[in-house]
Amino acid sequence: MALWPPRSRDFRAGEGQDSVPACAPRPPEPLIYDYGIELACQKQKEFVKNSVECKWSLAEAQQKLGSLALHNSESLDQEHAKAQTDASELREREEEWRQKEEALIQRETHNLWNPDSVSKDVFNKSFINQNKIQETEDEDKSKSFMQKHEQKVRHFDFEASFIRLIDKVTNGSRIEINQTGTTLYYQPGLLYGGVLEHDCSPHRSIGYYLESLLCLAPFMKHPLKIVLRGVTNDQVDPSVDVLKATALPLLKKFGIDGDSFELKITRRGMPPKGGGEVIFACPIRKALRPIQFTDPGKIKRIRGTAYSVRVSPQIANRIVDSARSILNKFIPDIYIYTDHMKGASSGKSPGFGLSLTAETTNGTFLSAELASNPQGQGTAVLPEDLGLNCAKLLLEEIYRGGCVDSTNQSLVLLLMTLGQQDVSKVLLGPLSPYTIEFLRHLRSFFQIMFKIETQPTHEELKGGEKVLMTCVGMGFSNLSKTIK
Amino acid sequence: MEEKDRKKHHKKHSGPKADKKRKRHLNDLGLGEDEDARKRNPKAFAVQSAVRMARTFHRTQDLKTKKHHIPVVDRTPLEPPPVVVVVVGPPKVGKSTLIKCLIRNFTRQKLIEIRGPITIVSGKRRRLTIIECGCDINTMIDLAKVADLVLMLIDASFGFEMETFEFLNICQVHGFPKIMGVLTHLDSFKNNKQLKKTKKRLKHRFWTEVYQGAKLFYLSGMVHGEYQKQEIHNLGRFISVMKFRPLTWQTSHPYVLADRMEDLTNPEDIRVNPKCDRKVSLYGYLRGAYLKNRSQIHMPGVGDFTVSDVSFLPDPCALPEQQKKRSLNEKEKLIYAPLSGVGGVVYDKDAVYIDLGGSHAHQDEEEEVRPNHELVQSLISTHSTIDVKMASSKVSLFMDSKPLGSEELENQESVMPKEEKQIDVKTGRVRRKALFEGEDDDGATDEEDGQGEEMSDDETEESDGGDGDEEESGEVPGEELGLRSAKQLKREETNEEMAVELPAFADSDDDLELSSGEEGETGLDGSKKEAEDDEDEEESDENESSYCDSESSNRRISKFTHCETGREYKRQRENHNLDGSSGKKVVSATDSGNCTADETSESEAEGSSLEEEESSDSDSEVEGSDRKGIQSASEKNVDGVEEEDGDVENLLKEEEEYGEENDFSSDTAGALKWKEDLTQKAAEAFLRQQQSAPNLRKLVYGTVVEDADEEDDADEELGGLFHVSRPDKESKQKANALDCSKFPVETLQDWDLDEVMNSIQDCFVTGKWEADKDAAKLLEEDDELYGDFEDLETGVVHRGKPSVEGDEAGSEGEEEDKEGKELKAVEEEEEKKRKDKKRKLKEMFDAEYDGDATYFDDLKGEMQKQAQLNRAEFEDQDDESRVQYEGFRPGMYVRIEVENIPCEFVLNFDPHYPVILGGLGNSEGNVGYVQLRLKKHRWYKKILKTRDPIIFSLGWRRFQTIPVYYIEDHNGRHRLLKYSPQHLHCGAAFWGPITPQGTGFLAIQSVSGTMPDFRIAATGVVLDLDKSVTVVKKLKLTGFPFKIYKNTSFIKGMFNSPLEVAKFEGAAIRTVSGIRGQIKKALRKPEGAFRATFEDKLLMSDIVFMRTWYPVSIPTFYNPVTSLLKPAGEKDTWTGMKTTGQLRHELGIRLKQNKDSLYKPIVRERKHFNKLHIPKALQKALPFKNKPKNHEKKAKPTKDQWRPAVIREPHEKKISALLTALGTVHSYKIKKAKLKHRQQLKDYLKRKQKEEEEKFKRQKEAKKKLFRIMGQKEKKRQKSSLKGAGEREK
C-alpha cells in the first residue's frame, strides 16, 4: 500500500555501511490518485474487458465533450447536453455490461463445463464483501481520512489478509464483512489444504500467519503446502526462524511428523517492505497423540541464526561474537550460523537480527530473538547490543523454563486439547497473558479446563517457578481426511 | 453295611483314560515313545531348504500378527455404567416374560409391567440395564446403537423371522455388540428328534449370521407362565460374567439411555401457548465417553439440541460399597426403573424423593384419602401440564411423568395386593416398588403450590391427611398463602434461579447448608413429634419422608426470601432457629439477596448442620432397622462430609488470596469486583514472577464456581426487568490490544550478576544433576548392585564396598543405646534398598530375556501406561472439580436439562420407546456433503434410484435425505449413476449431518408400518466429508460442419457465443464415425461457430460431438425422522418425503415417456454399392493373381447344349411312380436289414466279450492255483532246505 507518507531517508544513519538507497520521494497527490485506480483495478479481479472498455469509451466521450466545448462555443450548451446524455447513456451501458458480466460469472461458476476432467473449481468459495473494496476505491474522498487513520487501517489490513488466508485453506466457509469493516461474520467451512500461495500483509510478519497455520495444518483434507510471502522477521511476532526451531519439534511430539513436514525460508524479508518467502509443508493426521512432557531435561546445546539482509555481511559476525560472549559462560556447545542473504533472496528492506535456540536433552527447545529496528523507525541498533540483548533474552527464557517456550505455550495447550480422550501433561514456565486468554477461549470453545498446578522450585538453581498443566483431550479427530 | 454295598473301584485298563494315564506314566519315567520327535530323529527336522524355512517362518509370523488388534487405550471407568441388555425378538416370542424372569432372578422382585429401561444390580461388580425392544424398526435401530449385549429371542417353533435378521444387520452396521440367542417355545415340540434337529438347524444359521460358536440359549418350557428357574439362573450367570469388546462409536461418544423424564417448562408459558417448546430434564447413566456441559446432543427421533445443563446425581442403583467375598445380600440387590414405577428413592439435583406407601400400615389411611387423590388425579389428567408446574415449583413429586388416569389407578389397585403380599413374605419392609399412592400424595402437595388459590382447600385437607407434611404445612401455610401472589408475579425470576442453582450446590454450599441444617431441625422436630404420636415401625420412615418434604418446602421458601416479600418468613425462621447468632447471620445473608454468606456463619452453620445430621443419623439408626433410613442417612452423611471438604478448600483458598484484598465472599453483591481488577492482578502477579501459586487457576478461569456463576453476575437484574450490562473496560482494552503470542520480558534481570546467573546454572548439562540421573551416582549404585557376588564356578567371593556391613556393624554397636524408632528407620531404609536392588535385578533380567519385545508389545505397554495415567490423574479429586476438568465421566448418573424440545415429545411421551441422548463430537452437529461407500443389501428386492429420498441411520441419527449414487472411474472421476448397481459397491453422496469417516450406516426406504420383505435397503460406510462434492454426469454437445476444407472444418450449432467457444479452445472433439479433432478458434459470423481441425476430411453428413462432464448438484434435503414426536400408538407411522414413484402411484399419474426414447423396430434400407472400379494404372501395378481377369463372356448355351424338358406319358408316369415306390420299399428293407445286422453284431460282440472275460477269469484262476501250488512247493522246498540246514547245523 502506497498510502503511507514516504519514509525519511535517514534510516540508520549511525551505520556507515548502510548503502541501501531509501525509496525515492514521490509527488504525493497525483501519484496517490493513479495508484488508487490501479489498486482498485488490481483488487477487483472480476473486473474484465467489457467494463474497462466501457470506461474507456466513457472517458473518450468525456474527452469529446471537452473538445466540443473548446471548438464550437456557440452551440456549446446544446452539444454539452448531448454529450452529457451520451455520457449517461454510456454509463448505463457500462452498468448493463457489468450486470451481464456478473451474471455470466455466476453462470460460469454454476455450470462449469469442463472437457474430460474432474472439475475442481466447484468449491463454493466465499468472497469478501465487495463493499469494503469499493470503500478503498473511492479514495480521493477519503484520502485525508486514510492518512489520519493510518494505524487503524494498517491494523485492519493484516487481518483482512489473514481472513483471506483462512478463506484459502478452507472450503465452504462464509466470510462477510460489513461496509464499515466493523463486524465480521464467519461461518467455518472445512479445512481443505492443498498447494497454496499467499501474500501476507507486510504489517505483521509471516509468523503471525504461520502460528495459526501450525494449529490448523495437521487437520486439513489434503496435506498443506503453502508459500507465504511477506516479512519473515520483525520485532512483534515470533519470527519464522524461531517457529522453525521450536514449534516444529513440538508438533513432532504430537505425532505430526514425516519427510514432508518442513518450514523452509527461501527469502528473507525485513519490515517495512518485506519480500521474504517461506515454504511451509505439513502432513495430515487423523488424531493427535497425548503427551506427557513434564521433564524439560538439561540444556545440552545452543544454536542460533544471525541473519543480515541488505547490510554488510560483517554485521552477522559481530552479532555472533557478542552473543557468544555471554552464553559461553554457561555452556560451551554453542553454534550460531550466520545467514547473509543476497540478491533476490534478501527481500526489499535492510535489516538484521538474531534468533537463539537452546536444546535440552529431552528435546525441549527454548528460544529468544531480536531484530533490528525497521528502516526509518526508531534509532539505529548496534549489532553488538543486539547480540548481547538477545543472549540475555534467551537466559531469561531459560529462567522461565518449562518444556515449551513462552511463544508456543498456547500451541501446545491447543494440541493437548485437541488430543484423544487421554490425559496430557506439560510443564510450562509462567503463563503469558496471551496464554491465559487462550485458556479461557479453550474453555469457552471446547469446554476444556486445565488443571493448573504450580511446581515450587526446591532450592535447585533451575530458574523460576513452573506450572504443570494437565488436561483430558476432547477426542478431536480430523473430519476432513478422506479414507479410501 | 453301606461299604459292602458299594462297588469296589476298578482301575481302568483300557480306553482313552487308561491310555492317557499310561502315557503320562511313561513320560514321567522318561520312556515316553513320543518324548520329542526332534530329539529322536534330528535328521528329519534338519533344515532342508532355506527358502521353505523362510516361508514357514513368514507364515507363522503372519498368522501371529493377524491375530493382533490395534491396541487402544482402555477408557472404561473404574465404576462402569450398567451394561445395556437389549431384549429383542418378534412379537409374542416371550420378551417381557424373559425380562420379568431375569429381574426376578436377580432381585427377587416381581414386575407387572415393563416400561422403559430397568436397572438392577446383578453382582458385586456389575449392574444391568434391561430394556425391551419392540418391533418398530426405529426402536430397533436406536437400541442397536446403545446395546452392549443383545438377547435375541427366537421362536423355535416358528424359526427365524425377518425382524431377527434385520436386527442382526442393524447391529452389524453400527458395531457388533455381543449377541446371545435365546430359543423359546421349545415345549411345542412333541418329538424329541424333531426338537434336536431344529435346534441344530437354528444354531447353525445363527452361527453364520453372528459368528461361529456364538452362544445360543435354550429355554425349554414354561412353568406357571414363567421360564424354568434354573435356566433363567444360568442365563443370568452368563450375562453377569460376560466380557465386552469396546465398540468404536460407543467409546468415542457420550450417551445416555434416559430412564426418567421430567418437564420443567414454566407453566405460565404452557398456559399461554400449550404448544410452546419445552424444557425437559432427562436422567440416566452416562455411558461411552466424557460428556461436557453445553455440548451438542442428538436425540434419535426428536432432533439435535444443546445441553443447557448437566449435573450428576447420587447413584440410584449403586453397586455395593465394599467388596466382600460373599454374594450380594438382599439390601444390595437394588432395582431402579422409574418409568415402570419402581425404585424407591429418586434423586433430583437438589432434592430426594422417596416413594412411600404400599405398606400395610398405610393402607387404611390411604383408603381414607383416596377420593381426594382421585380428584387430584382427574385434574392431572385433564391438565397434562400440571406435572410441569410441579417440577418448576420444586416440590417433591413422583417420577412417573405420565399422568395416570383414574381407570389406571383401578387397574393397579387390582394388581397391587399380589405385589404387596410378596414383599411382606420376604422382608416385611416398607420399601416397595410401584407405588401409586405415595406418588399421589406427593403429587397432590406439589400441585397445590403450582395451582394457586383455588386449590388451597385441597391443600389444607391434604396436609391434614398427609403423613409427613403436617408439621411443615402447619407452620408455613400462612406464609405460603401470603407469598403465593408474589410468586406468581416473580415466576420467571424463580425460574432463572433454578437454572443458576447448580453452582450454588456445586460450590458455595452455604445456602444449601443452612437450609439443610434447618431442615434437619424441623425434620427432627417432626420426627420427635411423630415418635410421641405413634410408636410404629414405620416411624423412621415417616421421619424420612417428613425430612424430605420439609426440605423441599424449606427450599421453596428460602427461594422466596430473595423477593422482598418474604420478610415474615424470615422472622418465622429466626424463631425456629436454635442458634440465635447463626440465625441472625442467616438473615443478613438472605438480605443480601445472594446465596453466599460469611465464612464464619458458613462454618457455624456447617457445624450445626453436621450436628443435626449426625443426630438424625443416630436417631434413625436407633429407631429403625429400616434399610432406606440408614441408606439415605449415610448418604447424607457422606454429602455433608464432602461439602465440608469443599468448604475447607474454599476457606483455604480465600485465605491464600492476596492479603491486601478484602474478602470477596463477604461482598456478595459486588461479585463482579474481582473480575474488574482481574487483569490488574494478573499484571501484578507476573511482575512478582508468579509467586502466588494456588491462585493461578482462579486467575485463569475465574472462581472455582463454574461460569454459570459468572453469568449470574453478568446479567444482574434491576428490579427484575432490566439487565445491567456493564461493559468490561479491561476486556475491551484487551480486545483492542495487539494479539501476539510473544511473552515480552518486561524487566530484564541483570544477567551480569553472578547470583542471577547462578539461578539457572542447573538448567544446563554443565550444572548439577538430579540424584537419579547423575552419571557418577549411577555408577556408584551399580557398584553397589554388583557389590557382593560369589563366582560359583571358581568359588571366589567378590566383595563390594563394605558400606552396608559397616552400617550393620554400626547398628549392632548402637543397638543398646539407640531407640527402636531409629532402628526401624534403618530397617526401612535397608528394606527399601533391598527392594530397589531386587527391582533393578529384575529389570536387568527382563531386559536380557524378554528382550524381543515387539513393536506391538511396546505399543500395548504405552497404551496401558496411558490408561493408568488417565485413571490416576484425577482420582484424588472430588467429583465436583473432577467434572470440571474431565467432563462428566461415564458411569455417573446424570441429569441433563435440554431446552427447546418440541411439545409433542412431552405430550406424546411413551415410556415403551427408548429415549437416547447421543452426544455429538466436534462439528458433528454441522451439515455438509457426505460421501459414502454403499452397497445395496443382497436381500433387498429392488434397486435404489438416484434422487429418491431414503432414510439413513448414521451415527446417532435417523434421517431422510436425497442421495446421489455414483461410481468412481479410473481417473478418479465420480460419474453419476441413475441406479445403484445390483451386486457392486458404489459411491453415494448426500447432504446431511457430518459424521466421522469410517462410521457405518444403513438405509431403509421407509420406517412406517411393516413390510413383507426385508427392510434394510443398503449398508455401507462413510468415506469423506466435504462442503462441496464433485459428482458429474456426461454431457455430449453436438454440432454440424457447415464448411469443409481438407482437414479443417467449420462447425456450428455446438455453442451459442464466441465466449463459450473460447472456453473450450483446444478441447477434443470427435465425429460419430470416429474421426478425432480439436477445437481451434471461434468464428465471427455465425454466433458460436468455430474452426476445428480433424485427422481426416469430414463429410457434410458427419455429426461432430464433444464429451463434457457436467457437475450434478446434490439436493440439500435433510429431514430427521421424528418418530418420537408422533402420538402414542402411531410412533411407527412416520412418513417423510415420498418418492416420485410413490406419488405417481398414489395420484394415478402415469409417466409420460419421451417418444424418442422408445424402442422401435429398426428398418434399414438396402444399400446398393457401386461396382469396384480399379484404375488402369493400379491394375497394371497389381500382381497377376490380383489383377482382374478378363474372362470372356460365356456365350449362351447353344441349342444342342440346351436340353429340352421331358414330359412323360401317363403310362410312363405310372411306371416311374411304381419304380420309385418299389425303390422306397427296397431301401427301407435294406435299412432295416442293416439295422438288424448291426444289432446282431453288437450282441455278438457283447457275448464275445463276456466269453473273453470269463475265459480270462478262468485262466487267472487257473494261474492263481498253479502259482499257489508252485509257491507252496517252493516253500516246502525252502523249508526243507532250511530244515536241512538247521539239522545240519544241529
Chain B CB contacts of A404 below 8 Å: none
Q: Where are the beta strands (DSSP E) in B577-720?
A: 717-718
Strand (E) or helix (H) holding B1241:
helix B1210-1289
Give the mutation candidate from B760, B886, B1035, B1060 for the A interface (greatest A CB count, under 10 A).
B760
Shortest alpha-carbon distance between residue A31 and chain B (Å): 32
When the pLDDT of each residue in chain B is averaged and rounded to a whole number, the result is 74
Question: What are the cell numbers at A248?
Answer: 516444529
- Identify the segments of chain B with pLDDT beneath 50: 1-2, 357-676, 689-693, 704-718, 800-816, 1289-1290
Distance CA B184, CA B95 (A): 10
- Contact at 8 Å (CB) between B241 and B899? no
Q: Which residues contact B701 (CB under 8 A, 6 or more apart)?
A: A439, A440, A443, A449
* Per-residue buried b or exposed e for B660-689, using 16+ beta carbons within 10 Å of the residue's own CB: eeeebbeebeebeebbeebbebbeebbeee
Measured on CA atoms in the order B733, B736, B741, B743, is the torsion positive or negative? negative
Residue with cell 484423544: A420
- Helices B580-592, B567-576: axis angle to 10 degrees equals 160
Chain A CB contacts of B751 below 8 Å: 326, 391-392, 395-396
Task: Please tell me which of the candidates B686, B749, B765 has its beta carbon nearest to residue A299.
Answer: B765
Task: Please tell me which of the candidates A392, A420, A448 has its beta carbon nearest to residue B751.
Answer: A392
Contact B866 A456 (CB under 8 A): no
The candidate with the shortest Cα–Cα distance to A478, out of A250, A211, A284, A289, is A284
Distance CA B469, CA B473 (A): 6
The answer to whether B72 faces chain A, any CB pair under 8 Å, is: no
pLDDT for B332 equals 81
pLDDT tens for each residue of B627-647: 444 444 444 444 444 444 444
pLDDT tens for each residue of A184-205: 899 888 999 999 999 999 989 9
Contact A399 B759 (CB under 8 A): yes
Backbone angles phi, psi at A453, to 5 degrees: -120, 135
Give the mutation candidate from A330, A423, A453, A477 for the B interface (greatest B CB count, under 10 A).
A423
Distance CA B1, CA A75 (A): 154
Question: What are the cell numbers at B431?
Answer: 420399601
pLDDT for B607 equals 41
The answer to whether B875 faces chain A, any CB pair under 8 Å, is: no
- Contact at 8 Å (CB) between A103 and A50? no
- Contact at 8 Å (CB) between B518 and B577? yes
Distance CA B462, CA B379 (A): 15
Chain A CB contacts of B688 below 8 Å: none
Name residues 904-933 of chain B within 8 A of A (Cβ): 921-924, 928
Contact A463 B759 (CB under 8 A): yes
Shortest alpha-carbon distance between residue A91 and chain B (Å): 24
- Contact at 8 Å (CB) between A474 and A418? yes
Task: Please name the residue of chain B whose CA is at the shortest distance from the CA of residue A460.
Answer: B762
Task: Please tell me which of the candidates B759, B1028, B1030 has its beta carbon nearest to residue A124.
Answer: B1028
Task: Please name the residue of chain B whose CA is at the shortest distance from the CA of residue A430.
Answer: B690
Chain B CB contacts of A480 below 8 Å: 1025-1026
Chain A CB contacts of B734 below 8 Å: 437
Contact A292 B1025 (CB under 8 A): no
- Contact at 8 Å (CB) between A411 and A280? no
pLDDT for A323 equals 94
Task: Please name the residue of chain B whose CA is at the shortest distance from the CA of residue A473.
Answer: B886
Distance CA B952, CA B138 (A): 11
Question: What are the cell numbers at B589?
Answer: 445473608
Distance CA A478, CA B1 (A): 82
Q: What is the dihedral of CA B397, B402, B406, B408, to 10 degrees?
A: -120
The answer to whether B1109 faces chain A, any CB pair under 8 Å, is: yes
- Contact at 8 Å (CB) between A291 and A426? yes
Q: How many residues does chain B have?
A: 1290
- Contact at 8 Å (CB) between B258 and B913? no
The candidate with the shortest Cα–Cα distance to B99, out of B239, B210, B206, B214, is B239
Measured on CA atoms in the order B563, B566, B567, B570, is the torsion positive or negative? negative
The tens place of each residue's pLDDT in chain A, 484 residues long, gives 433 444 433 333 333 333 333 333 333 444 444 554 555 555 555 656 676 676 777 777 777 766 655 455 455 667 677 777 888 888 888 888 888 777 666 655 444 444 333 333 334 444 444 344 344 444 444 455 556 666 666 666 888 899 999 999 999 889 988 888 788 899 888 999 999 999 999 989 999 999 999 999 999 999 999 999 999 999 999 999 999 999 999 999 999 999 899 999 999 999 988 999 999 999 999 999 999 999 999 999 999 999 999 999 999 999 999 999 999 999 999 999 999 998 989 999 999 999 999 999 999 999 999 999 998 888 889 999 999 999 999 999 999 989 999 999 999 999 999 999 999 999 999 999 999 999 999 998 898 999 999 887 666 677 888 999 999 999 899 998 998 7
- Contact at 8 Å (CB) between B784 and A351? no
Distance CA B1091, CA B1096 (A): 14
Torsion region of B116: left, alpha or beta (phi above 0 gives left; psi -120 to 50 gives alpha): left
Question: What are the cell numbers at B461?
Answer: 385437607
- Helices B567-576, B510-533: axis angle to 10 degrees equals 60
* Per-residue buried b or exposed e for A78-105, using 16+ beta carbons within 10 Å of the residue's own CB: ebeeebeebbeebeeebeebeeebeeee
Distance CA B819, CA B233 (A): 61
Task: Please tell me which of the candidates B757, B884, B1111 has its beta carbon nearest to residue A449.
Answer: B884
Q: Which amino acid is at B345?
A: V
Distance CA B858, CA B1128 (A): 55
pLDDT for B792 equals 54
pLDDT for B516 equals 39
The answer to whether B886 faces chain A, any CB pair under 8 Å, is: yes
Task: Please tell me which of the candidates B73, B689, B928 has its beta carbon nearest to residue A422.
Answer: B73
Contact A406 B873 (CB under 8 A): no
Shortest alpha-carbon distance between residue B1020 and chain A (Å): 13
Q: What angle do CA B1198, B1200, B1204 make, to 5 degrees?
A: 105
Question: How many other CB atoms are found less than 10 A from the CB of residue A397?
Answer: 25
The three-class DSSP label of residue B217 is strand
Contact B866 A422 (CB under 8 A): yes
Chain B CB contacts of A211 below 8 Å: 741
Contact A422 B869 (CB under 8 A): yes
Shortest alpha-carbon distance between residue B159 and chain A (Å): 40
Backbone angles phi, psi at A305, to 5 degrees: -130, 125
First-residue to last-residue Cα distance in chain B? 67
The three-class DSSP label of residue B25 is helix
Beta bridge partners, A339, equal: A307
Distance CA B466, CA B373 (A): 11
**Global pTM?**
0.65
Distance CA B1062, CA B1040 (A): 18
Q: Where are the beta strands (DSSP E) in B549-655?
A: none
Q: Which amino acid is at A188?
A: P
Distance CA A268, CA A230 (A): 9
The candidate with the shortest Cα–Cα distance to A390, out of A371, A408, A373, is A371
Contact A395 B760 (CB under 8 A): yes
The answer to whether B748 faces chain A, any CB pair under 8 Å, is: yes
Contact B701 A484 (CB under 8 A): no
Contact A238 B1032 (CB under 8 A): no
The answer to whether B286 faces chain A, any CB pair under 8 Å, is: no
DSSP B680-728: HHHHHHHHTTS---TTHHHHHH-SSS-HHHHHHHHT-EETTTEE-----
Q: Which residues contact A283 (CB under 8 A, 6 or more apart)?
A: A218, A223, A256, A257, A258, A260, A261
pLDDT cut 90: percent of chain B above it: 39
Contact A439 B700 (CB under 8 A): yes
Torsion region of A189: left, alpha or beta (phi above 0 gives left; psi -120 to 50 gives alpha): beta
Measured on CA atoms in the order B528, B534, B539, B544, is the torsion positive or negative? negative
- Contact at 8 Å (CB) between B483 and B569? yes
Contact A447 B1107 (CB under 8 A): no
Within its chain, how far is the Cα of A157 from the centroid?
11
